[in-house]
Amino acid sequence: MTEKKADGSWEKSKSKLKQKFADLTNNDQMLLERKKEAILARLQLKLGTTKEETLKIISGLF
């Protein structure tokens, strides 16, 4: 999965979350996005992989 594809998926996910949970604000979604990036960076560090490799591993799980 490329970063662009992952970002597209994230945009769809954010939209679905906002539809399902109308109480979510843009600030809530920005926080979720920062957490996503932090988790991705931590996985990269632990696995010793690039961002693209890590995204590919994650996408293979689903």
- Whole-prediction pTM: 0.59
pLDDT score for 7: 59
Q: At what angle do helices 26-47 and 51-61 cross, to 10 degrees?
A: 100
User: Is residue 2 scored above 60 in pLDDT?
Assistant: no
Residue type at position 12: K
Q: Residue 52 and residue 6: Cα distance in Å, rounded? A: 10
pLDDT, tens only, 3-55: 555 556 777 887 888 888 888 888 888 888 889 899 999 999 999 999 999 98
Range of the domain at 7: 3-61
Query: 4 to each of 27, 46, 60, how far by Cα in Å?
Result: 22, 23, 16
